[in-house]
Chain A
Amino acid sequence: MRANNMVAMILAGGRGSRLKELTKKVAKPAVHFGGKYRIIDFPLSNCANSDIKTVGVLTQYESVLLNSYVARDHYWGLDTNNGGVFVLTPREKDEEDFEVYRGTADAITANIDFLDSMNPEYLLILSGDHIYKMNYAKMLAYHKESQADATIAVREVSLKEATRFGIMNTDNTDRIVEFEEKPAHPKSNLASMGIYIFTYKTLRKYLVADAKKADSHHDFGKDIIPAYLNDNRKLFAYRFKGYWKDVGTVDSLWEANMDLLDKNSELDLGDKTWKIYTEDVNALPQYIGDEAKIENCFVTQGSVIEGKVKNSIIGTSVIIGKGAVVEDSVLQPGAIIGEGATVIRCIVADDVEIAPGAVAGSRDSAEIELIASNFVE
């Protein structure tokens, strides 16, 4: 028998176009974060730490790198005999037209055969593009305890922020009575985190029915949840307290990176009881030159720092030349900052070179500048 009869499905097919050139050749879940990680390491590590054995990853947009990355399930310790990471891309099927995933729910429906073969009692639906640490086992316990048909993880936001999220209106037992997508006048401050636990048997019926509807978006938020509510199914809100961030924009990706500089942040990646696992890269330890100055930084292996760096995240094998100044910036793996160059309030994309003496970004820019190709100005 399976140790934990819940299968996780991670929705990782989106482009994340607001991350601009960062997702030109890789899907958003594969974008680097925190110097050495990729965004999808967070849900995958959460699964591993929550004792989930089987994880399906639904990929679509620019999936070559992402597919081969997640298939290496030993990175997260998910390579057990009775489980593993299953890469689920749209596929051609007998007697059906070949179609891409048309929505979040459709991506699951298209893999109902896979899920049936796994025969899970519960299904956990996750996004591949959020930064957070969460014990899904606790959420499952809550789901069982409340005898819910579905449980939706929520976090409390300000009423002002609530206008940007899917909002759950609940009764005093936290049973969800209404769901509003980006309400102009929110009645509640409980924002959906896009994390759902469904009792699989029930969900299966709804998915099959939804697939037949011509006017459906085949989306969990827009179609499945409303259908559940319509039928008076038991939906509960699971309140999550702790760090959570959607890193969908250049600014929010930068902010989440900066949160790592706060030692007291709830997103403490040094916490040994809830490690975030990632690829093993083979790189030297950090080499800090004799003229270097490093202040308030998060630095990972392979980097060679000879300049002055402040309030920044330094990714794997980044090189910062002599006399260079880097401040309030995120340098993605492989970035090279030439001698005497200045980089302020920037995200420098993977393997991008800033020429010696060049000046990128500025201290008083309203937005974070994304440097996605070699920069010589």
Chain B
Amino acid sequence: MRALGIISFEDNTAKIEGLGDYRPVPAIAFMGRYRVIDFILSNMTNSGIDNVQVYCKEKPRNLIEHLGSGSHYNINSKRGKLRVLYGEKSFSSEVYNHDVANYMLNMQYIEEDKNPYVVIAPSYFVYSIDFNEVMKQHVASKADVTVLYTAANNAKTAYLGADTIDIEKVTKTVQGFGKNRGNKKNANISLEAYVMSKKLFIDLVKKASEISSLYWFKDILADSVDELSMRGYQVKGYVACINSLSEYYRISMELKNYKKAQQLFRPGWPIYTQTNDSAPTLYSADASVSDSVVANGSEINGTVKGSIISRNVIICKGAEVKDSILLPGAYIGENAKLDHVVVDKYAIVHHVKKLVGTETEPIYVKRRDRI
């Protein structure tokens, strides 16, 4: 596919309490063995996009380590390239650190790319899409910009703060952008994913930086609704937006259902990730596991129900883990009871008898914490 892939970063409305303090949203562990970014990046590489730029707002170490050379995402090591880009200067204020500023700082890498098109998408929207189909429609419609969206029916609780788009039903013309404030159940949610010519993309970025040093790319797009022809492309399969801890929890629990998961993990459309040669997971004679998703490298000696267990987790005898998410390397000591808890990486839950959260407010246990 003749497009440069650009993985943009989420704006400041996305805030994953706790988990987000230690790493950018794309690097957050998800569904036992993945990171959030694996989905959009695999969509791009599966679509034949071999040149991908991943923009990182802050704390790039985690992401660079996870992405490596990109070879595990099936990027051709000679003809393709995966770059992690970030503003190699410090911003005087957080508000200046937005996508447009980062594109401007790395403009030479965008300009020197030979592809005539760009596919831009952030990683915190999780879905499965063949960009070839999007590109086909984009070219056929002769639109300047194609905007991906989902017709959500749970917008009162999900996608809060995300962009909505007004679409003309027949022509699919985008008439304007708004914000989802959770007032209506049904809304067309912009996935902040766009297809356009690279030239237009560069023009818009430069224009945005001239108009206001606070402009995000989505702001200049909203400004240009009348001048440019923009078409919507509806993503019909499973879509979710990981923009808060409660949504992270809800989406994880939803994908714990195998039938639901199959809508995201489609046959012939692998989701790639970094692997680390973990052994299979050992379920001991004392283990009792049901309704759960379990990654490799763990050791389960207790009871696990309705939970997501990541790599290299140890659950001791007598422990009960219910409706919880354990991130890689978590350790749950003997007889500890967890109910609606998100345990961050390498945290040790030992001398606590019981932690109980709720569906909308799961308890969060900090990274490397010891309780």
B290 touches A288 (CB 8 A): yes
B283 touches A294 (CB 8 A): yes
Q: Does B275 count as interface, using CB distance less than 8 angstroms?
A: yes
In whole angstroms, how far apart are the Cα atoms of A313 and B265 in the complex? 25
* CB nearest neighbor in B for A313: B280
Q: Does B31 count as interface, using CB distance less than 8 angstroms?
A: yes
Chain A residue contacts of B284, Cβ below 8 A: 263, 296
Assuming the A-B contacts A286-B293, A286-B294, A288-B290, are A276 and B279 also in contact, with contact meaning beta carbons closer than 8 angstroms in the complex?
yes
Assuming the A-B contacts A282-B270, A285-B295, A301-B295, are A270 and B279 also in contact, with contact meaning beta carbons closer than 8 angstroms in the complex?
yes
Assuming the A-B contacts A34-B280, A300-B281, are A292 and B290 also in contact, with contact meaning beta carbons closer than 8 angstroms in the complex?
yes
A278 touches B288 (CB 8 A): no
Chain B residue contacts of A280, Cβ below 8 A: 72, 275
B294 touches A282 (CB 8 A): no
Assuming the A-B contacts A282-B270, A300-B296, are A289 and B283 also in contact, with contact meaning beta carbons closer than 8 angstroms in the complex?
no
Q: Does B200 count as interface, using CB distance less than 8 angstroms?
A: no
Q: Does B75 count as interface, using CB distance less than 8 angstroms?
A: no
B272 touches A282 (CB 8 A): yes
B282 touches A292 (CB 8 A): no
Chain A residue contacts of B287, Cβ below 8 A: 294-296
Q: Please pick, from B261, B280, B291, B297, the residue contacting A284 in the complex, using a CB distance under 8 A.
A: B261
B290 touches A289 (CB 8 A): yes
A287 touches B283 (CB 8 A): no
A304 touches B258 (CB 8 A): yes
B296 touches A301 (CB 8 A): yes
In whole angstroms, how far apart are the Cα atoms of A288 and B296 in the complex? 13
B283 touches A297 (CB 8 A): yes
Secondary structure call for the A interface: loop
Q: Does A143 count as interface, using CB distance less than 8 angstroms?
A: no
B279 touches A269 (CB 8 A): yes
Q: Does B209 count as interface, using CB distance less than 8 angstroms?
A: no
* CB nearest neighbor in A for B294: A286
B277 touches A299 (CB 8 A): no
Q: Please pick, from A261, A263, A275, the residue contacting B277 in the complex, using a CB distance under 8 A.
A: A275
In whole angstroms, how far apart are the Cα atoms of A372 and B133 in the complex? 42
Q: Does B115 count as interface, using CB distance less than 8 angstroms?
A: no
A-B contact count (CB 8 A): 94
Tell me, rounded to whole Å, the shortest Cβ–Cβ distance linking B358 to chain A. 21
Assuming the A-B contacts A300-B280, A304-B258, are A293 and B294 also in contact, with contact meaning beta carbons closer than 8 angstroms in the complex?
no
B294 touches A288 (CB 8 A): yes
Q: Please pick, from A287, A293, A299, the residue contacting B280 in the complex, using a CB distance under 8 A.
A: A299
Which of B239-273 touch A at CB < 8 Å?
258, 261, 265, 270-272
Chain B residue contacts of A282, Cβ below 8 A: 270-272
Chain A residue contacts of B279, Cβ below 8 A: 34, 36, 269-270, 276
Q: Does A97 count as interface, using CB distance less than 8 angstroms?
A: no
A285 touches B33 (CB 8 A): yes
Q: Does A95 count as interface, using CB distance less than 8 angstroms?
A: no
Chain A residue contacts of B289, Cβ below 8 A: 288, 292, 294
B291 touches A298 (CB 8 A): no
Chain A residue contacts of B72, Cβ below 8 A: 280
Q: Does B197 count as interface, using CB distance less than 8 angstroms?
A: no
Tell me, rounded to whole Å, the shortest Cβ–Cβ distance linking A36 to chain B. 6
* CB nearest neighbor in A for B304: A288
B261 touches A35 (CB 8 A): no
In whole angstroms, how far apart are the Cα atoms of A313 and B279 in the complex? 12
A270 touches B297 (CB 8 A): yes
Q: Does A277 count as interface, using CB distance less than 8 angstroms?
A: yes
Q: Does A99 count as interface, using CB distance less than 8 angstroms?
A: no
In whole angstroms, how far apart are the Cα atoms of A315 and B226 in the complex? 57
Q: Does B362 count as interface, using CB distance less than 8 angstroms?
A: no
B291 touches A290 (CB 8 A): yes
* CB nearest neighbor in B for A35: B280
Chain A residue contacts of B277, Cβ below 8 A: 275-278
Tell me, rounded to whole Å, the shortest Cβ–Cβ distance linking A79 to chain B. 11
Q: Does B5 count as interface, using CB distance less than 8 angstroms?
A: no
Q: Does A96 count as interface, using CB distance less than 8 angstroms?
A: no
Chain B residue contacts of A286, Cβ below 8 A: 281, 293-296
Assuming the A-B contacts A284-B265, A285-B33, are A293 and B293 also in contact, with contact meaning beta carbons closer than 8 angstroms in the complex?
no
In whole angstroms, how far apart are the Cα atoms of A284 and B270 in the complex? 9
In whole angstroms, how far apart are the Cα atoms of A5 and B183 in the complex? 71
A270 touches B283 (CB 8 A): no
Chain A residue contacts of B31, Cβ below 8 A: 285
In whole angstroms, how far apart are the Cα atoms of A209 and B292 in the complex? 63
Q: Does A291 count as interface, using CB distance less than 8 angstroms?
A: yes
The 0/1 profile, CB within 8 Å of B marked 1, for residues 314-326 of chain A is: 1000000000000
Assuming the A-B contacts A282-B271, A285-B31, A301-B33, are A291 and B290 also in contact, with contact meaning beta carbons closer than 8 angstroms in the complex?
yes
The 0/1 profile, CB within 8 Å of A marked 1, for residues 68-83 of chain B is: 0000100000000000
Q: Does B232 count as interface, using CB distance less than 8 angstroms?
A: no
B296 touches A287 (CB 8 A): no
Q: Does B299 count as interface, using CB distance less than 8 angstroms?
A: yes
The 0/1 profile, CB within 8 Å of A marked 1, for residues 1-33 of chain B is: 000000000000000000000000000000111
In whole angstroms, how far apart are the Cα atoms of A275 and B277 in the complex? 7
Q: Does B371 count as interface, using CB distance less than 8 angstroms?
A: no
In whole angstroms, how far apart are the Cα atoms of A261 and B273 in the complex? 28
Chain A residue contacts of B296, Cβ below 8 A: 36, 285-286, 300-301
* CB nearest neighbor in A for B32: A285
Tell me, rounded to whole Å, the shortest Cβ–Cβ distance linking B72 to chain A. 7
In whole angstroms, how far apart are the Cα atoms of A261 and B285 in the complex? 9
Q: Please pick, from A269, A285, A295, the residue contacting B294 in the complex, using a CB distance under 8 A.
A: A285
* CB nearest neighbor in A for B276: A275
In whole angstroms, how far apart are the Cα atoms of A195 and B32 in the complex? 39
* CB nearest neighbor in B for A300: B280
A298 touches B280 (CB 8 A): yes
A289 touches B282 (CB 8 A): no
Tell me, rounded to whole Å, the shortest Cβ–Cβ distance linking B42 to chain A. 9
In whole angstroms, how far apart are the Cα atoms of A291 and B272 in the complex? 29
- Can you give 16 contacting A-B residue pairs, CB < 8 Å? A34-B280, A36-B279, A270-B297, A280-B275, A288-B292, A292-B290, A293-B288, A293-B290, A294-B287, A297-B282, A299-B281, A300-B280, A300-B281, A301-B33, A313-B280, A314-B280
User: Which 8 residue pairs across A and B have the least CB separation, nearest first?
Assistant: A300-B280, A269-B279, A285-B32, A290-B291, A282-B270, A286-B294, A296-B285, A35-B280
Give the B-binding residues of A (Cβ under 8 A): 34-36, 260-261, 263, 269-270, 275-278, 280, 282, 284-301, 304, 313-314
Give me 13 other A-B pairs in contact (C-beta within 8 A), A282-B270, A286-B293, A298-B280 excluded. Answer: A276-B279, A282-B272, A285-B31, A285-B32, A286-B296, A288-B291, A292-B289, A292-B290, A294-B287, A295-B287, A297-B283, A298-B282, A300-B280
